[in-house]
Structure 1
Amino acid sequence: MLIDNHNRVINYVRLAVTDRCNLRCNYCMPERGIKFAQRNDLLTTKELQRLSDVLIDLGVDKIRLTGGEPFVRSDIRELLEHLGAHDALKELSVTTNATLIGPYLKQLKAMGLTSVNISLDAIRPETFARITRRDSFAIVRENLMKLLEEDLTVRINFVVLEGQNIDDIYPMMEFQEKYPVQVRFLEEMPFNGGSRNFKKLHWNHKQILEHIRLRYPEFEKQPAPLTSTSVNYKIEGHAGGFGVIPSFSRTFCGSCNRLRVTATGDLVTCLYGKPVANVRELIRRESDTDQLAGLIRQAVGSRAKDGFEAQERFGPVFGSSMTSIGG
């Protein structure tokens, strides 16, 4: 079992399989993209499999594959099938923009996937194109509707962006009213790869909730695990539900059970900190499994108490892009 220096059990890993993405969302990276890692610096599928095996042996029972966009990897199926075969893994999920998931839709559940998070910051084509700088809304919606037919838990992550997608909040609420999907509205974070000048948060979790309340005055808070980052709500008669994630306010840090691994093998114990170790060389030297596990335990054993302490400890980290941090 992985237990950090604040006596929190770390059983959830967000495992980035690439830093590449086929979209260019304006709150994540500049239109020209960012300086992506050299391909030989990225962990191979075999290396990701070995790392995952060690993490599961250490007590991790929830893994989410992130990116970049995970489905830009042509060998993603091999990794999913490997992870899906682990009986000790209670949850296997992926965060995707849903543009490339089409060929895998019918096999996802058979591969062991339990849920899919779709990053979708607009429900109208024109808003989608403006934010992503790509004309891909039709294929995303098509794949989303097909996912809803596959008996998987489907969530939509909607980053609330001042001056960009506020008018899409109510239409997104109408979508969850009609379909069994959980929409989570996220505070914007400053990890934009230098694409925008982030000075302050315009829409915090309280403002988002109050905006929703103007149109939907009656909703009921839903029970959630202590480790949940989302405060979830349900409206009577709606097929789905919604939640708000205070990702910049960081109200959930005290119960954090997550560890991030970037596509190049960096261990990130807090999103608002910097990498504390790298596992790539140990894996490539085929070092003893105990040595690899020891490095992970050491990283987890010196975590910041919360995102604010991590920010103070490591200094500015806001020039990074979420695509390189690991989603």
Structure 2
Amino acid sequence: MPEHGLNWLSRKELMSYEEMLHSCSLMVKMGIEKIRITGGEPFVRKDLMQLLTAISKLDGLKELSLTTNGVLTAPFVPELKKIGVRSVNLSLDTLDANRFFTITRRDEFANVMATLDALLKHDTEVKINAVVMDGQNTQDIIPLVEMTKDMPVSVRFIEEMPFNGDGHLYTGLQWDHVRILDEIKSKYPDIQKLVDPAYSTAYNYQVPGHLGTVGVIAAYSRTFCGTCNRIRITPQGELKTCLYDDGGLNIKDLMRGGATDNDLQLALLTAFGNRAKDGWEAEKLRVVHPGIHESMATIGG
């Protein structure tokens, strides 16, 4: 979240739950098997469990997952388990309460850890997402890896990306995936490379004897683009086939303009078939705001 906050949108500018469910249903019929609800923070929106429950019942959907900052999530963990959410990504950049406050500007560290405890208690697969930021939390890399010794979690370190909103100076990447891994190896030289699942954005590792695993995501270096099969729709309905593009197809506007499902399918397939070859090309082709990246708080983790 930028220090000055965000320009909040009116409700009519956001997709309704009905529009979200309809677009999810359409794309599942087109062959998409996995849906992840992310944010901002999903649980900021009221009645989120109703949407998740409805999506979980879509015929043909094989996996429903969630990305959350964990502040409001703990009370809903039993319900998430009940509707079949087996995997949750938890954003956690530090294990130090004071640094957590400095980074997030929120005194919510205890609530996030309560969410982690609840997820583990309910046997939910947990991936901890930590963005490595120079001068802010690099001292947390080793403590976060140490979590995997006794916890069955995947701790994933993510290169910092230039998604901090207009006016935020991005001075370039100081901690790339190579430097992050070197830091881990300084403490755990025997860490072993694992076989990465198909379409994985993370390079996966495990310290011998540890319950959990470690991942490193080259989000800025973009070395995984050749196998990326992800798409996302922002709360405003904008389709993004890459985090670094500036959209171009608005699902919400098409639906409100009277587009049929066939119209929507054709528009989606055209967008999918014309995605940039990688994140570098997507960034270069930005038209609406060249050189300016939205805040990740508005386009999702």
The verdict on a shared fold, with TM-score over 0.5 as the criterion, is: yes
1:189 aligns with 2:137: no
Match of 2:65, SS state, is: strand
Alpha-carbon distance between aligned partners in 1 of 2:258 and 2:117, rounded to the nearest angstrom: 43
Matches within 5 A, 1:103-252: 103-194=75-166, 196-252=168-224
8 Å Cα contact 1:37/1:264 also seen in 2 = no
Aligned-pair CA distance for 1:284: 2.5
The alpha carbon displacement at 1:317 in A equals 4.7
Deviation at residue 292 of structure 1 after TM alignment: 1.2
Matching residue's letter, 1:283: M
Cα distance between partner residues in 2 of 1:234 and 1:152: 19
- Alpha-carbon contact 1:266-1:277 (below 8 Å) kept: yes
1:59 aligns with 2:31: yes
Asked whether the 8 Å contact 1:131–1:164 carries over to 2, the reply is yes
Q: CA deviation at 1:178?
A: 1.7
- Give the residue type in structure 2 aligned to 1:148: L
Match of residue 320 from structure 1: 294
1 or 2 for the larger relative contact order (CA 8 Å, sep ≥6)? 1
CA distance in 1 between counterparts of 2:138 and 2:2 reads 21
Determine the structure 1 residue equivalent to 2:237. 265
Cα distance, 1:38 vs structure 2: 2.1
Which moves more between the two structures, 281-290 or 264-273?
281-290
Q: Please, which runs of 5 or more residues in structure 1 have no aligned partner? A: 1-28
Moved more, 31-40 or 75-84: 31-40
Q: What CA deviation, in whole Å up to 9, does each residue of 1:7-52 have, x standing for no partner?
A: xxxxxxxxxxxxxxxxxxxxxx322212132221111111110010
The whole-number CA distance in structure 2 between the counterparts of 1:122 and 1:56 is 36
For residues 40 and 84 of structure 1, the distance between their equivalents in structure 2, rounded to whole angstroms, comes to 25
Counterpart check, 1:34 vs 2:6:
yes
The one-letter code sitting in structure 1 at the alignment partner of 2:259 is S
How has the CA–CA distance of structure 1 residues 88 and 317 changed in structure 2, closer, same or farther, with 3 Å as cutoff?
farther
**Is the 1:180–1:240 Cα contact (8 Å) retained in structure 2?**
yes
More displaced stretch, 313-322 vs 124-133: 313-322
Give the corresponding residue for 1:95: 67
Is the CA contact (8 Å cut-off) linking 1:85 and 1:112 kept in structure 2? no
Q: What is the SS of the residue equivalent to 2:232?
A: strand
Supply the distance in 1 between the matched residues of 2:189 and 2:159 (Cα, whole angstroms). Answer: 21
Partner of 2:268: 296
CA RMSD of aligned residues (A): 1.3
Residue 194 of structure 1: how far off its partner (Å): 3.5
Counterpart mapping for 1:43-54 below 5 A: 43-54=15-26
Partners of 1:176 and 1:225 in 2: CA distance: 19
Aligned mates of 1:239, 1:232 — CA distance in 2: 14
Give the match's secondary structure for 1:159. strand
Q: Which runs of 4+ in 1 moved over 6 A?
A: none
Matches of 1:185 and 1:215, distance apart in 2: 16
TM-score, length of structure 1 as denominator length: 0.88
Q: Cα 1:65–1:195, aligned 2, differ >3 Å: closer, same or farther?
A: farther
* Residue identity in the other structure for 1:265: G
Q: Is the Cα–Cα contact under 8 Å of residues 274 and 317 in structure 1 kept in the other structure?
A: no
| 1:291-319 deviations in Å (ceiling 9; x for gaps) | 11111111112111001111122263543
Q: CA deviation at 1:281?
A: 2.3
The structure with more helix, counted as a fraction of residues? 2
**C-alpha separation in 2, matches of 1:193 and 1:127:** 21
Partner letter of residue 323 of structure 1?
Answer: A
